[in-house]
Amino acid sequence: MTESREPSLETRIKSLIQTNGPISISVFMQLALFDRKQGYYATRPGIGRDFITAPEISQVFGELLGVWAAYEWQQLGCPSTFHLIELGPGRGTMIRDIWRATSKIQGFNDAAQVHLIEPSLALRKKQADTLGLELTPEWVDDLADIPDGPTLIIANEVLDCLPIRQFVQKHDKWHERQIGLDDKNCFTFGLSGPINSAKDQALLEELPRNQSIIEISTALDAYIQQISERLAQGNSRVLFIDYGPASSRPADTFRAYANGKQIDPLTQVGKTDLTADVDFTEVSKSAQNHNLDVSGPISQGWFLGSMGGVERINQLMDQNPSLADNIAEGGTKLMSPEHMGERFQAICLSSNDLPKPAGFQ
């Protein structure tokens, strides 16, 4: 007798659609990315293969965030013990560079209790390999698993993977963009009937009428609420860096990446990174609704520049002349408007009564 195999993630999603009808992009993303057995983050940690994040481009990125963290620790009054938390730490490159940069700040590394929020066991192993004996953090599944106390949270490219819904305006009525099956049993996009639920109508009333298609991350407010519950303890901050427009709502930005190239998001389900631009207008609004102080968003280029980015790049080039071209190229990718400098934004959310955070003055 042969052992039965579990159906593929694609087969299971198709079965769901055949049984219940088309699903929202939000449900599709949730299953494709976060399914515990066959989702992308559980099985295919693709940093450096499917996509490259700022810490992988240049050590300067993590080092400058270390400078930011050290300054903010001093702003908090140099507590003898505090929590340094990274959300979505990837391969561990950023926290390694942060830790190296802060080792020169007297008292910081002794005071810092480092926590990495990472549910994926595969990524935890990669992070441990990257950090070696230099740093032994505590790995946790959730922010609620970390004890109370002064806190600095850093999150690079985390908000962009929150599932989104898309709405299309036709003849002055809103319809939700959905994913169904065509006559060849392949995934395809379609539209729902006109939105008529009171909850969705209330949501859509706030949207600008001058856009024919718009994206909403319905998980964003719940995520910011969880962050706010942590920051409400006082003496705490979170720094988010991610891509998206600073002052307008995203339109059609749902996409997928595999092996460094953008591909059809409805193919290779569970094997590609699905993403969408972050709505920083909504991040600010949600944070204010949860009684947090908001600084930014400001462009990544401006933020890194204000933290000494150009000076650090020049210093590294002087110290490593044989690598000067590569160092300059990495710095250009991080900071120039033509690359990540304007495409990415930095935003800081804080508990009340703290000074303006570094980089945002």
* Beta-bridge mates of residue 275: 255
* Residue 3, amino acid: E
What integer pLDDT is reported at residue 2 of this predicted model?
44
CA-to-CA distance for 20 and 255, rounded, in angstroms?
A: 25
Count CB atoms within 10 A of the CB of residue 161: 21
CA-to-CA distance for 57 and 91, rounded, in angstroms?
A: 13
CB 214 within 8 A of CB 249: yes
What integer pLDDT is reported at residue 197 of this predicted model?
83
**pLDDT tens, residue by residue, 178-222:** 999 999 999 999 999 998 888 887 777 776 667 789 999 989 999
What integer pLDDT is reported at residue 46 of this predicted model?
57
3 state SS of 252: coil
What integer pLDDT is reported at residue 205 of this predicted model?
77
pLDDT by 10-residue block (mean), the chain, 361 residues: 72 97 97 90 66 89 97 96 96 96 96 94 90 93 94 97 93 92 97 88 74 89 96 94 93 91 94 94 96 97 96 95 95 95 97 94 82
What integer pLDDT is reported at residue 49 of this predicted model?
64
What integer pLDDT is reported at residue 199 of this predicted model?
80
CA-to-CA distance for 124 and 104, rounded, in angstroms?
A: 26
What integer pLDDT is reported at residue 97 of this predicted model?
97
CB 92 within 8 A of CB 137: no
Q: How far is CA 33 from the centre of its chain?
A: 13
**pLDDT tens, residue by residue, 222-260:** 999 999 999 998 899 999 999 999 988 898 999 999 888
Domains assigned to the chain: 24-36+164-215 (no CATH), 43-162+218-350 (3.40.50.12710)
User: Edge-to-edge strand order for the sheet containing 261-263?
Assistant: 261-263, 255-258, 273-275
Give which of 37, 16, 41, 38 is closest to 27, Cα–Cα.
16
